Amino acid sequence: MSAIAVDTPRPNRPVHYRPCGDEVAVFEAAADNRLPVLIKGPTGCGKTRFVEYMAERLGRDVHTVACHDDLTAADLVGRHLIGAHGTYWQDGPLTRAVREGGICYLDEIIEARKDTTVVLHPLADDRRILPLDATGERLEAHPDFLLVVSYNPGYRNLMKGLKPSTRQRFVALAFDYPSAAVETEIVAEEARLDRDTAAQLVGLAGALRRLDQHDLEESASTRLLIHAGRLISRGVNPLTACEACLAQPLTDDAVTLEALMDVVRAHLGE
């Protein structure tokens, strides 16, 4: 099976999530009405954390699938396997969530082939059913089943898009990097960093995000800021931490790297 499905264990301590708008109320209303949710936004802006937080609030398990272009419908739905006693059916992560209830979270759904995402259609409208051709079953989704998908609509993905017939079924939430004040709180809390240093990192991220580098596929995300903050709070020199976490992960191109590091140096006053 090529899907990387993860049943996210319920964490021991509460999931920390700082809301940035009405997303909690919208998600709860969608879940109450059994409407599937689509979350779009750049990598590392808090989409997955939000889903984990909402799962905890709603008391549901999360079955996460990291989508990729080899993902087949069978990876989601399940397949027959051969065991010691002959063939047997094994549910995929989608089918498990449909039977048992819980959130099935398809991360980066845009990476999956369109013929794979078509299996979601009867689940994502009023029917809420999953026909299993291989077993002849026609599963009605558990009342607590909720389909959640996310993707990054960055320029690399513009051509891929999501089929209009797929996207029209979802309640869509647009995520972006949090405001500077909120992002400073998040970085300080997640990296256990003092507020002034967190604010400096967030200011630097703002400058990096404004850079008009078209060969950069992604920008300095909240996740990368937290990584830099964690290194700094462990005593790593800020310039080194920013190169390791905010510049090197974003590019392999020497000229682009130098442009990023110019911004970093100017911002840190080095």
Tell me how many residues contact ligand ADP (CB under 6 A).
18
CA atoms of 126 and 31, how far apart (whole Å): 13
CA distance 77 to 177: 33
Minimum distance of ligand ADP from residue 83's CB (angstroms): 36
Footprint of ligand ADP on 1-20 (CB under 6 A): 16-18, 20
Residues 216-255: x/- map of binding to ligand ADP (CB under 6 A)?
------xx--x-----------------------------
Mark the segment that binds ligand ADP (CB under 6 A) among 40-48, 207-215, 250-258, 260-268: 40-48
Rule CB under 6 A: say whether 45 interacts with ligand ADP. yes
Strands (E), the chain: 4-8, 37-40, 62-66, 78-83, 86-91, 102-107, 129-132, 137-140, 145-151, 171-174
Nearer to ligand ADP, 54 or 226 (CB): 226
For ligand ADP, the closer CB: 94 or 205: 205
**Residue whose CB is less far from ligand ADP, 34 or 223:** 223
Q: Residue 186, Cα to own-chain centre: how many angstroms?
A: 17
Candidates 106, 37, 39; CA nearest to 73 is 106
Cβ-closest residue to ligand ADP? 46
Nearest-angstrom CA–CA distance, 133 and 145: 20
Report how far apart, in Å, the C-alpha atoms of 212 and of each of 55, 83, 155, 262, 263 are: 37, 55, 13, 14, 12
CB of 49 to ligand ADP, least distance (A): 4
Specify the residue, 13 or 85, whose C-beta has the smaller distance to ligand ADP: 13
Rounded least distance, CB 21 to ligand ADP, Å: 10
Specify whether the CB–CB gap between 92 and 75 falls below 8 A: yes
Residues 176-195 interacting with ligand ADP (rule: CB under 6 A): 178, 186, 190
* Span 115-174, contacts to ligand ADP by CB under 6 A: none
Query: Which residues lie near ligand ADP (CB under 6 A)?
Result: 16-18, 20, 41, 43-49, 178, 186, 190, 222-223, 226
